[in-house]
Amino acid sequence: MKILYLLIPLGFMVMGVALWAIIWAVKNGQFEDLEGPAHRILMDDDDPMVPGFDTAADKSEQAKTDLKNNDQ
């Protein structure tokens, strides 16, 4: 029975921290865009994210366009 004197206030403190965390998250905009990340994962990004990074396919396409331009 004496353990309840410890567990009840401890439970209220844990609940208070959880409530504070939820309120903080809502105020800081953590729940603004719930669907964006789900749609973004489906997007196929063919462009490299690193600037200046050329793939072999990009180089071959550039070589083809250079040859066409030189022939004209």
Domain presence at residue 13: yes
Domain presence at residue 17: yes
Domain presence at residue 12: yes
Query: What percentage of the chain carries pLDDT values higher than 70?
Result: 60
2: containing domain: 1-31
Residue of 36 and 72 predicted with greater confidence: 36
Residue 7's φ and ψ, nearest 5 degrees, are -75, -35
Counted domains in the chain = 1
pTM above 0.75, yes or no: no
Instruction: Render pLDDT for 19-40 as a digit per residue (tens, 0 to 9).
Output: 999 999 999 988 888 888 777 7
Domain presence at residue 55: no
Domain presence at residue 7: yes
State the Cα torsion 25-29-30-33 to the nearest 10°: 150
Residue of 55 and 45 predicted with greater confidence: 45
